[in-house]
Structure 1
Amino acid sequence: MPKSMFYGSISSPKIDVTVDMGNPFLNRTVDGFLKIGTVAASRVAVEETYQCVQKGSISKAKFEDALKKMCKEGAYWGTVAGVYVGMEYGVERIRGRRDWKNAMLGGAITGLLISAASNNRRDKVVKDAIAAGAVATAVEFVSYLT
């Protein structure tokens, strides 16, 4: 009995924007800022749209509030990502190696900087640095598995 099979692939559209700042460190930092900032802003847009659909209405004030939230979240998470990517690249250049330790150190430095910029106490800054380094290391290890 003949068998029929269907082969195919579904892929999402890929948009890649390159901003050449003339320096690899700046290029990666800006790229991280733009990509993650866009994701954060999109998340807020989806959440706000869902809330408007749930309520069944939208107002000019609600729309303006949503835009402000999108900009705020996009700028915050874009900045965190830009700092992380820049720190990881800087650590890689200083160490002369490309391995998981760069992610750990880049994450720890990023956590430290972001926490210190938020005017946290010393113990909170240290905890945030440790947590960010651990998360970055875990992400690096998971990416090796896939």
Structure 2
Amino acid sequence: MVKNTGKESMQWGLAAGVYSGLTYGLKEARGAHDWKNSAVAGALTGVALALTSEDTTHEQVVHCAITGAAISTAANLLSGIF
């Protein structure tokens, strides 16, 4: 149980670090903070998380990238509404 908790903690930390770093880097590089930055950062974060799981397949990596991009973009767009 402790080993599993530690692994999940590392995955969440990786996700937070990758996403935050990418959104900041893209904002600085592009000079804009928009849904495109969120989509790219979410997709790459999804890929990073997929690659940390056991028995990763190509389909899982693509699925996680699409899911990460969709959730991140939706969160960015909805934060401007509410």
- The reply to whether residue 123 of structure 1 matches residue 46 of structure 2 is no
Does residue 144 in structure 1 map to residue 80 in structure 2?
yes
Instruction: Specify which structure has the higher proportion of helix.
Output: 2
Using CA pairs under 8 Å that are at least 6 residues apart, name the structure with larger relative contact order, 1 or 2.
2
Paired residues, number? 80
In 2, the alpha carbon distance for the partners of 1:77 and 1:98 equals: 23
- TM-score for both structures, normalised by structure 1: 0.48
Q: Which moved more, 1:110-119 or 1:120-129?
A: 110-119
5+ long unaligned stretches in structure 2: none
CA deviation after TM superposition for structure 1 residue 115, in Å: 0.9
Alpha-carbon deviation of 1:95? Answer: 2.0
Question: Is 1:104 paired with 2:32?
Answer: no
Distance 1:120 1:69, change over 3 A: closer
Conserved? CA contact 2:46–2:61, under 8 Å: yes
Residue identity over aligned pairs, in percent, reads 38
Structure 1 segments unaligned to the other structure (5+ residues): 1-64
Cα deviation, 1:3-32, whole Å, max 9, x if unaligned, reads xxxxxxxxxxxxxxxxxxxxxxxxxxxxxx
